[in-house]
Amino acid sequence: MPTALIILAAGQGTRMLSDTPKVLHRLAGAPLLVHAMEAGRALEAARTVVVAGHGGAAVADAARAHDPEAITVTQEEQLGTGHAVAQAMPALSGFAGDAVVLFGDTPFIRPETLAAMREARQAGHDVVVLGFEAAEPGRYGRLVMDGDRLTRIVEAKDATDEERAIKLCNSGVICASAETLSTLVGAIGNDNAAGEYYLTDIVGLANLRGLSCTAIRCDEAETLGVNTRADLARAEAVFQDRARTEAMAGGVTLTAPETVFFAHDTVIGRDTVIGPNVIFGPGVTVESGAEIRGFCHLEGCHVSHGATVGPFARLRPGAELANDVHVGNFVEVKNAVIDDGAKVNHLTYIGDAHVGARSNIGAGTITCNYDGVMKHRTEIGADAFIGSSTMLVAPVNIGARAMTGSGSVITEDVPDGALAIARGKQSNKPGLGIRLIERLRAIKARKTN
C-alpha cells in the first residue's frame, strides 16, 4: 500500500529568537526539515506534503531542494495541529494509501519506528499513534491504553492524578489511511481554551466511530523536538554521538571521537583513520583505507582508497582525490580532480584544475583561476613536477612530465617534457643592502626621538 508523508512545518519558533523559520535551522549541516523528510524515506513515500507557514517560501524552497516532487501547502493561520493537517488533505485528494504525520522540528524518528507503525496499520488498526516512555512525563499528553487498544489521549493539564501517573506519552506522530485521517480531521472541533484544533482529538473521535486505535512505542530520544537554541545544541550533540558510535562500529578509527563532527550524509569507509578536530560538511564520501589527519575541513568532496589528507587541509566542493593521493598541510582543493598517486603536500591552492597521476605540486603553488569575472581551468599532465611558488595563470596546460622552475609565473602552455622558467632576471647591487638597512635604522631613530 502506498504511503504519503505530511510534515508539519508551519511554526514560527518564537523561542529560537530568529528571522529564520525554525525548521530551517541546521542540524549536522542540513535543515531540521530535511531530517524529517529523510526519516520518511524508508517508507518510500509516494507523496510528500509539507505544511508551511512562517517563512513559507523559504520552507518550500528547502523542501523542493531536497525532493523536487515535494508539495508545499500554506497554513495561513496557526490554529493547531489538526488545522495544519487539514490544510494538507486537499493535496492527498484521491490518494488510496496511508498517511503518516511527522513534525519538521523532530529530527530523530527512526525509519524502523515508522515501519513498525505501518505494520500495525497493515495488521488492521485504523489509527496508530507513536508513544514513548518518558523519564519525566510532566507536560506531555498521556496515552490511555486498554491492553493494546488506545482509548484516548489526554493533555497533561486536563489529566487526573491517575492519568498523570501514566508514563506512556504522546509524540504527535500518527499513521492512518488518508481517507480516515481526512474524515477524522474534518470532525475535530476547537471547543477549548486556546480555540485550536488538536490532532490528538482524532483518537477519541475514532473510538466513538468504532475504529481500532493503538500505540507503537519508541525510545524517548527519538521524539526530541527543537524549540530553542539550547534544544538545537542538544540535538546536535545527540546526532554527533550517534554518528561517531556508528562510524567506529563500522570499522572507522577516530583518535579523538569527541572532536570529530559529521554531517547528516557523511559516508566513511572501513579502515579509515580520522584524526582530532576534523569537520565534515555535507556531501563527503571517504573510501576505505584513507587517512584524514587533524584539523581538516571537508565539504562536497570525494576521497578515494589510500589517500592522505592533512593536517590542516581544506577540501571544498568538487574536490576529487583518487587512490593514494597526498594532500598535506595548509592545502586547499576546490572543484579539482587529483589523479592516482599525485602529491600536493604544502601551502598550496588547487582550484578548477586537473592534476595528472603521480605529479608533484611544490609548496606555495597557486592555480590562479579567477580573473575577477570568470573562472578558468588549469590542466597538469601525468608525472609533472611543479616547482615551489609557481603561479599557474589559468587557462593554462602543463604537459606530461613537464617541469616549472621555482618562483615562476606561468602564463603559457608548457609542452610535454619541457622545463618552463618565467621569472625576472636577478640583479645584485654590491653594498646596497648594508646602506639601505643603515638608512632605515636612522629614519626609525629620528622618529623615536
Residue 449 pLDDT > 80: no
- Cell numbers that stand for 349 in this block: 591552492
Residue 61 domain-assigned (yes or no): yes
- Cell numbers that stand for 424 in this block: 625576472
Q: Tell me the mean pLDDT in the region 90-119.
A: 94
Q: How many domains does the chain have?
A: 2
Q: Tell me the mean pLDDT in the region 415-443.
A: 94
Indicate whether 197 and 301 sit together in one domain: no
Residue 106 domain-assigned (yes or no): yes
CATH of the domain at 323: 2.160.10.10
Indicate whether 28 and 42 sit together in one domain: yes
Indicate whether 126 and 162 sit together in one domain: yes
- Cell numbers that stand for 38 in this block: 529523510
pLDDT in tens, 263-302: 999 999 999 999 999 999 999 999 999 999 999 999 999 9
Residue 113 domain-assigned (yes or no): yes
Residue 367 pLDDT > 80: yes
Last residue of a domain, one of 223, 255, 270: 223
Domain hosting 113: range is 3-223
Indicate whether 157 and 276 sit together in one domain: no
Residue 138 pLDDT > 90: no
Question: Model confidence at 136, in pLDDT bands (50, 70, 90)?
Answer: confident
Indicate whether 218 and 273 sit together in one domain: no
- What value does the mean pLDDT of the chain take? 95
pLDDT at 157 (0 to 100): 82
Last residue of a domain, one of 207, 223, 239: 223
Residue 193 pLDDT > 80: no
Q: Are strands 98-103 and 168-177 parallel, antiparallel or unpaired?
A: antiparallel
Q: Please give the torsion angle defined by the CA atoms of residues 154, 155, 161 and 164, in that order, rounded to the nearest 10 degrees.
A: 90
Task: Decide if 264 is catalytic.
Answer: no
Indicate whether 44 and 183 sit together in one domain: yes
Indicate whether 359 and 376 sit together in one domain: yes
Residue 399 domain-assigned (yes or no): yes
Q: Tell me the mean pLDDT in the region 98-109.
A: 95
- Residue for cell digits 523561542? 15
Q: Please give the torsion angle defined by the CA atoms of residues 68, 70, 71 and 73, in that order, rounded to the nearest 10 degrees.
A: -110
Q: Tell me the mean pLDDT in the region 415-437.
A: 94
pLDDT in tens, 206-241: 999 999 999 999 999 999 999 999 999 999 999 999
Indicate whether 201 and 256 sit together in one domain: no
- Cell numbers that stand for 123 in this block: 495488521
The Cα–Cα gap between 386 and 80 comes to 65
What share of the chain in percent tops pLDDT 90? 88
The answer to whether 363 and 377 have CB atoms below 8 angstroms apart is no
Residue 150 domain-assigned (yes or no): yes
Indicate whether 130 and 233 sit together in one domain: no
Indicate whether 219 and 233 sit together in one domain: no
| Prediction pTM value | 0.89
Residue 65 pLDDT > 80: yes
CATH of the domain at 126: 3.90.550.10
In sequence order, the 6+-apart residues with CB closer than 8 A to the CB of 3 are 40, 43, 44, 45, 46, 97, 98, 99, 100, 118
- Cell numbers that stand for 436 in this block: 639601505
Closest among 130, 121, 150 to 213, alpha carbons compared: 150
The pairs formed by 227-235 with CB atoms below 8 angstroms and a separation of 24 or more are: 227/13, 227/15, 227/16, 227/22, 227/105, 228/15, 228/16, 229/16, 229/17, 232/16, 232/25, 232/27, 235/27, 235/107, 235/108
pLDDT at 124 (0 to 100): 93
User: Phi/psi at 37 (nearest 5 deg)?
Assistant: -65, -40
Residue 440 domain-assigned (yes or no): no
Question: Model confidence at 158, in pLDDT bands (50, 70, 90)?
Answer: confident
Residue 348 domain-assigned (yes or no): yes
Q: Given 66, 305, 346, 354, which residue is catalytic?
A: 346
In sequence order, the 6+-apart residues with CB closer than 8 A to the CB of 180 are 126, 127, 206, 211
Indicate whether 206 and 263 sit together in one domain: no
What share of the chain in percent tops pLDDT 70? 100
Residue 163 domain-assigned (yes or no): yes
pLDDT in tens, 42-56: 789 999 999 999 889
Indicate whether 379 and 285 sit together in one domain: yes
pLDDT at 1 (0 to 100): 81
Last residue of a domain, one of 223, 251, 280: 223
